[in-house]
Chains A and B, each alone.
Chain A
């Protein structure tokens, strides 16, 4: 048993979902998503038991490309995030009625396939292919099933596609350039290469384009808010919950180790960019009246902090970044689901038109409250663990970074609680708001359970990721 089975399962799932017809597609997709979660856990067990689960076979001879998949702690933590969120996302969408459901759910599973491939690939070109493949389904999901004016949506989605495609092509050039040196795309061979500082700097910046657009870091974030707003909620969840983690994961896996001299040389710039994103995102979020846009900007602030943590190049920074990536993945999916639940009842995303929901739906109110508190990193939630570790690592570099980064908690608490106040509290709304259905409630409870469990007991994840992050650190700190 190796990790390739997981990819085969997801791809088969996508095809089977498409063939099963509109009526059964959601259920088939959920079944395959759950199966892939089960398989991921099983593979994780094999991995922790010390079995070899890597897959390697020749693919293209000239240029030499290997079909190499490799699971280590870091990639497994991401694969599990993917595998755990996909069923939740699919299940939570049962409350909506999508036209042409078979294509919709098939695209979700196809995207899960591509993202899992990105996390597992151990060959630069294979990684690049999965990275690009993940873009196609989300493009169609946002374009066809999105909401709002078609012309507006079209513009936003095309901008998003061209932006990300442009960024990744520079990454491709960097890979081809490195291939000339290493005569291989395998990650070990690329790690082993000795490049001059100048070459590393170019490579580092080529990667930076791809990742800064995907994550997004300011000033490459302009596509984000519009696409989050226009995409269907499922698409927004996929984008914010998993897809932007592809960018952050790649920073840790590819960009920093391959451009390690540049990463050290320009550390201050990148940490500052991340922190600037924190402050900018928080301030813009304060002024949003669209619920999804507000969440988009809050997401921009959070990923800025994660990126800043990763660019500190310390064990705590990288570890905190990974923890926060997982925590943010869960909490942001939960928050977008909450926004969708309100939308299903009120048909609006405008915060001004909401309010007074609390009395009518106490269960929803308390779950939403927990998610809001988790997103502002209340102690005992998973987000606290991640955010605290990242801030601690920033303080190791310079106290001021930690102080400025810490504003995310203060500003975050301010705009999130203000949003909560306007949306949920106040005079009882005249429009009826039925409490959460079983389906919605279960999705939210699962997410909240994960957030609390790892908030109180993060050790399993720490044990999983620490060895692989230490390996990456040795590569970063290599002197030649």
Chain B
């Protein structure tokens, strides 16, 4: 609870900094403050408490995911320093929006009431709409913002409708009560319909096939840092929230629901990967790769009672690799109007360190040991076989093979091509974020139990 209040307070402080004309200090200050909040939140691990008539419920699940979100937010805020160098006057707005976005994210995993859940998702989404359109002189950024807004608000509407149906069935918004009631045998038919509508809305947010059409265009059009936010933080938040919702409503007991998840998961993995193979724009490629990763993450929904730990691990592995990759992309493509793969030619020669980091991030996403992406897939496959879906695992394996095709396209561009442009300057922040993120990723790979057992 205090985490949520502190983050919101921090967002307001960021706005005040604008008035006090302290723009230079805003990024370091926010990073330090977020680190303090991270420390505080981590210290709360193990406490279980409800606040304000169970509007907000703190438990192990919410604390560990909040910590992950805060870590990601720290990286994203740190990257803002150089990214918004040309928009100095607005930097406090951007930072404040990012912090509010984090507040929405934390609300989305700590909710104890569906109203709170909806508030969280709206705070998150509205922040993202603004960030997507934040490059206001660029037509494509405007288009991305508009597209995302239309699609996103449509999805929010569906979620809201679902929540209404659930309320109609259960007579309460309180999650623990709904959870209790959903175990009884006699359920009105609109309760599962409500679950399906909420699930569909969340599928929009995590960009699972067939609700993924907005993702590539929005990812490509938005400013690169916003794309980084969407593909790491926002996706992970939506996934964790969907998990929490379905877990509370015991959705996995129904066979139809499981089959639906299996089909959506297979479709997401396959479509995402096959489309990614054809892309030459790196941001667009990562958008499709994110769709396929969403498909992998959906596998956790097949064994809801045991897979919280592996979802946390997968999301951490995926998003840390994503942050590392985007830090490099931001560096390589700064001051450029597109993120074509040719920009990466010869990076292995001109900038071996960043090339190595990006290689590591891509290998992690492809699922190659000792990076944490491998263990993430391993536990996922293990659980899915346990749940009895060997076919889904085999599709996942085939998809991992396909994904190597496009991840390696980028690696090849860095090492097998001659450099075509000179880069000057070495912004220390890009380096730091990239290296810290990949080191965390590898550390997770060396000690997977450290994270996986948190929610066991």
B439 within 8 A of A: no
Instruction: Across the interface, name the chain B residue whose C-beta is closest to A130.
Output: B369
Task: Contact check, A129 vs B370: say whether CB atoms are below 8 A apart.
Answer: yes
Q: Does A403 have its Cβ within 8 Å of any Cβ on chain B? A: no
Interface of B is mostly: helix
Determine if B393 is an interface residue (Cβ-Cβ < 8 Å): yes
A136-B363, A176-B385 given; A169·B400 CB < 8 A: yes
Q: A153 to B417, alpha carbons, bound, how many Å?
A: 12
**Of the residues B381, B390, B417, contact of A172 by C-beta under 8 Å:** B381
> Is residue B261 contacting chain A, with contact meaning CB distance below 8 A?
no
Q: Looking at the complex, which of B141-149, B224-232, B320-328, B401-409 is the stretch in contact with chain A?
A: B401-409
Cβ-defined contact, A125 with B453, below 8 A: no
Cα distance, A176 to B394, chains bound together (Å): 12
B residues in contact with A196, CB < 8 Å: none
A173 at the interface (CB under 8 A from B): yes
Which residues of chain B have C-beta atoms less than 8 A from A166's C-beta? 401
* Contact, CB under 8 Å: A162 / B452: no
Q: B382 to A176, Cβ gap below 8 A?
A: yes
Residue A462 CB within 8 A of the other chain: no
A176–B404 CB distance below 8 A:
no
Q: Which chain B residue shows the least CB distance to A202?
A: B390
- Is A150 a contact partner of B401 (Cβ separation < 8 A)? no
Beta-carbon contact of A176 and B378 below 8 Å:
yes
Chain A residues near B415: list those with CB within 8 A: 140, 143-144
**Interface size classification for chain B:** 20 to 34
Question: Is A62's beta carbon under 8 Å from chain B?
Answer: yes
A63 contacts B382, C-beta separation under 8 Å = yes
B416 touches A143 (CB 8 A): yes
The one of A154, A161, A162, A169 that contacts B397, using a Cβ cutoff of 8 Å: A169
Chain A residues near B419: list those with CB within 8 A. none
> B42 near A: Cβ within 8 Å?
no
Closest Cβ of chain B to A167, distance in Å, is 9
Within 8 Å by CB of A158, from B309, B369, B408, lies: B408
Cβ contact within 8 Å between A162 and B401: yes
Residues of B within 8 A of A161 (CB): 404, 408
* Complex alpha-carbon distance, A249 and B435, angstroms: 37
Known A62-B452, A165-B404: A176·B393 in contact at CB below 8 Å: yes
Q: Pick the most buried of B375, B378, B405, B449: most chain A CB atoms within 10 A of its CB.
A: B378
Do A158 and B375 form a contact, CB below 8 Å, given A62-B452, A62-B453, A136-B363?
A: no
Whether A180 pairs with B401 at a CB distance below 8 angstroms is: no
Total A-B pairs, Cβ < 8 A: 81
Q: List chain B residues, Cβ under 8 A from A169.
A: 397, 400-401
Say if the beta carbon of B253 comes within 8 Å of chain A. no
Instruction: List A contacts of B375 (CB < 8 A).
Output: 60
User: For the complex, is A205 an interface residue (Cβ under 8 Å from B)?
Assistant: no
Distance of A25 from chain B, by nearest CB (Å): 15
- Please indicate the chain A residues that have their CB under 8 angstroms from the CB of B379 in the complex: 62-63
What CA separation (Å) do A176 and B386 show in the bound complex?
9
Q: Is the CB of B401 within 8 A of A60?
A: no
Q: Give, as a whole number of angstroms, the nearest-CB distance from A441 to chain B.
A: 34
A64 nearest CB across to chain B (Å):
10
A55 to B167, CA, bound (A): 58
A133 touches B381 (CB 8 A): no
- CB of B196 within 8 Å of the partner chain: no
Bound complex: CA A169 to CA B452 (Å)? 22
Give Cα distance in the complex from A161 to B404, angstroms. Answer: 9
Residues of B within 8 A of A42 (CB): none
CB-CB < 8 A to B309: which residues of A?
62
Chain A 102-145, CB-CB to B under 8 Å as 1, else 0, gives 01000000000000000000000100110011011000100110
Q: How far is the CB of A4 from chain B (nearest CB, A)?
A: 15
Which residues of the other chain, A, contact B405 by a CB distance below 8 angstroms?
Answer: 158, 162
With A59-B449, A62-B452 in contact, is A125–B378 under 8 Å at CB?
A: yes
Which B residues touch A132, using CB under 8 A? Answer: 368-369, 374
**A170 interface contact, C-beta 8 A:** yes
B192 interfacial contact with A, CB 8 Å: no
Residue from B374, B381, B412, B452 in contact with A61 in the complex, judged by beta carbons closer than 8 Å: B452
A143 touching B412 by the CB < 8 A rule? yes
Q: A271–B417 Cα gap in the complex (Å)?
A: 43
How distant is B407 from chain A, measured CB to nearest CB, in Å? 11
The closest CB in chain B to the CB of A126 belongs to B369
Q: Which of A59, A128, A140, A180 contacts B386 (CB 8 A)?
A: A180
CB distance A61 to B449 under 8 Å?
yes
Q: A129 vs B372: C-alpha distance in the bound complex, in angstroms?
A: 12
Report B168 CB to chain A, min CB distance, Å.
39
- Cβ contact within 8 Å between A63 and B408: no
**Inter-chain contact B363/A60, CB cutoff 8 Å:** no
User: How far apart sit A59 and B412, CA to CA, in the bound complex (Å)?
Assistant: 34
Cβ A128 vs Cβ B452 within 8 A: no
- Cross-chain contact of B385 among A135, A140, A177 (Cβ < 8 A): A177
Q: Does B32 contact A (CB under 8 A)?
A: no
The chain A residue with its CB closest to the CB of B348 is A144
Q: Does A179 contact B (CB under 8 A)?
A: yes
**Chain A positions within 8 Å of B369 at CB level:** 128-129, 132-133
Q: How far is the CB of B294 from chain A (nearest CB, A)?
A: 20
Question: Which residue on chain A has the smallest CB distance to residue B408?
Answer: A158
- A438-452: contact bitstring with B at CB < 8 Å (1 yes, 0 no)? 000000000000000
Per-position binary interface string of chain B over residues 440-456, scored 1 when its CB falls under 8 Å from any chain A CB and 0 otherwise: 00000000110011001
Assess the A60–B386 pair: CB atoms within 8 A.
Answer: no
Chain A hits for B448, CB < 8 A: 60
Partner of B412, one of A125, A136, A154: A154
- Docked CA distance A177–B383 (Å): 10
A172-212 vs B: 1/0 string, CB under 8 Å? 11001101100000000000000000000000000000000
Residue of B nearest to A63 (CB): B382
Question: B417 — nearest CB in chain A belongs to which residue?
Answer: A150
* Distance A395 CA – B433 CA, assembled complex (angstroms): 63
In the bound complex, CA of A187 to CA of B149 (Å):
54
Instruction: Give the docked Cα–Cα distance between A165 and B352 (Å).
Output: 25
B412 and A172 contacting across the interface, CB-CB below 8 Å = no
Contact (Cβ within 8 A) A179 B382: yes
Question: Residues of A contacting B385 with CB < 8 Å?
Answer: 173, 176-177, 180
Q: How far is the CB of A68 from chain B (nearest CB, A)?
A: 16
Q: Do A173 and B394 form a contact, CB below 8 Å, given A60-B375, A161-B404?
A: yes
Give B28 Cβ to nearest chain A Cβ, in Å: 32
Determine how close the nearest CB of chain B comes to the CB of A205; give it in whole angstroms: 13
User: Contact between B404 and A61 (Cβ–Cβ < 8 Å)?
Assistant: no
Q: Could you tell me the distance between the alpha carbons of A154 and B456 in the complex, rounded to whole angstroms?
A: 44
Complex Cα spacing A176 to B374, Å: 13
Query: Complex Cα distance A161/B375, Å?
Result: 20
Please report the C-alpha to C-alpha distance between residue A383 and residue B378 in the assembled complex, in whole angstroms.
41
Residues of B within 8 A of A63 (CB): 378-379, 382
A61-B453 in contact (CB<8A): yes
**Which chain A residues border B400 with CB–CB below 8 Å?**
169
Residues of A within 8 A of B404 (CB): 161-162, 165
A162–B449 Cα distance when bound, in Å, is 29
Query: Is A133 in contact with B378, judged by CB distance below 8 angstroms?
Result: no
In the complex, are the beta carbons of A173 and B453 less than 8 A apart? no
Q: Do B449 and A172 touch (CB < 8 A)?
A: no
**Residues on A with beta carbons closer than 8 Å to the beta carbon of B386:** 180
Task: For the complex, give the distance between the alpha carbons of A133 and B442 in Å.
Answer: 13
A-B pairs with the 9 shortest C-beta distances? A129-B369, A166-B401, A169-B397, A61-B449, A60-B449, A132-B369, A154-B416, A63-B382, A60-B448
**Apart from A60-B452, A62-B379, A166-B401: 16 A-B pairs, beta carbons within 8 A:** A60-B375, A60-B448, A62-B453, A62-B456, A132-B368, A133-B369, A144-B415, A154-B416, A161-B404, A162-B408, A165-B404, A172-B378, A176-B382, A177-B390, A180-B385, A180-B386
22 A-B pairs in the complex with CB atoms less than 8 angstroms apart: A60-B449, A61-B449, A62-B449, A62-B453, A63-B378, A63-B379, A132-B369, A132-B374, A136-B363, A143-B412, A158-B405, A158-B412, A161-B404, A162-B401, A162-B408, A165-B401, A166-B401, A172-B381, A173-B381, A173-B390, A177-B390, A180-B386
A residues neighboring B (CB under 8 Å):
59-63, 103, 125, 128-129, 132-133, 135-136, 140, 143-144, 150, 153-154, 158, 161-162, 165-166, 169-170, 172-173, 176-177, 179-180
